Amino acid sequence: MKAASVDRNDPCPCGSGKQFNYCCLGKTSGPAPNNNTASPSDALRKALEGQRFDTLEDAQVFVTEHTWQQNQRQLDEFEGLSPELMAWMLHQPFTSVRLVLFPEVLKSQPSTPITRLFSLLAEAIGEQGLKPTAKGNLPRNFCRDAALAYWDEKTHQERTRCGGINREEDFFDLHVTRLVAELAGLIRKYKGRFILSRDCRRLLAEGGLAVVYSRLLKAYAEQFNWAYRDGYADLRFIQQASLFTLYLLTRHGDTWRSQTFYEDAFLRAFPIVLNDVPPSPIFTAEEDLRRCYTWRTLVDFVGFFGLAEVEKVSDDILCHEYRVKALPLLGNAVQFQFPR
């Protein structure tokens, strides 16, 4: 009796962490394995050797059990995670309490780039609201004042060297903060003015930024389009795998490590993402993916949310090399529920 196939909604046997129908369904072969062990298809073929099944149901039970066992294995390329845990991490990062907890209230008030900018925005809105421009953006004078309050003098000079702040998009971190706050339901427009939502006022009164932080984090990770912040290809999977990067930082972030360390770990886990990188006349797919991953995940996500310190290794304006180290806020805001 021929063995039945894996169900289309099961984790893919190739170990990518994706559902079968979003990965290797319809392919004659999956991606090459990242270690020296046999591929999942080879392992299944070997397990079937000498097996005889009286019914299709018996064959299905055998394949299902084998697939379940394969998906419980701890894989080096997944940093010790099993394919099953990786599937949860990719597809249900904020809803599986068996996987990770995101405390609704932090132990202390966070001081991070996004919370500092949100504080400036909330203070400016106040009780009276803030009148937007004709295009619906934050007023120019507020953006200028916020930049002076947020940046030190040297940084302000560097950031405005090629032009002043004449619109919200000229202070892009503030622009992103406003968009994420709206996605999180913290601010909205009402009768022609930006106002703090009723929910936001309640949260600020109950616990300040220690309560608001998790709302901003989830909105940024799940709703905001990370590709909007840079000029790289969409590559949505980088954002989908954001929790895996936080897991990497939890395991290895106790000491300074280069961006390459985290790029390598991401590529080991998800080499198939290289297939999604559009061709470039200048860079290889791997070079583009590495640059996109570092900027989008390390600089614009974990750095922006104060989960890690991300430093340039040189003051050279053209330098694109960073070193990364986790900050205490990471363990407070993201609590994994399995051994790390």
Q: pLDDT for 259-292, tens place per residue?
A: 999 999 999 999 999 999 999 999 999 999 999 9
Q: What is the pLDDT of residue 2?
A: 39
Q: What is the pLDDT of residue 307?
A: 98
Task: Give the list of residues 6+ apart from residue 331 with CB closer than 8 angstroms, or none.
Answer: 250
CB-based burial of residue 11 (10 Å sphere; 0-12 exposed, 13-18 middle, 19+ buried)? buried
Is 90 exceeded by the pLDDT of residue 62? no
pTM: 0.81
Contact 15, 23 (CB under 8 A): no
What is the mean pLDDT of the segment spanning 168-180? 97
Q: What is the pLDDT of residue 32?
A: 41
| Distance from C-alpha of 319 to C-alpha of 311, rounded to nearest angstrom | 11
Quick: pLDDT tens for 6-57.
565 666 655 555 555 556 654 433 344 444 445 666 777 777 777 777 788 8
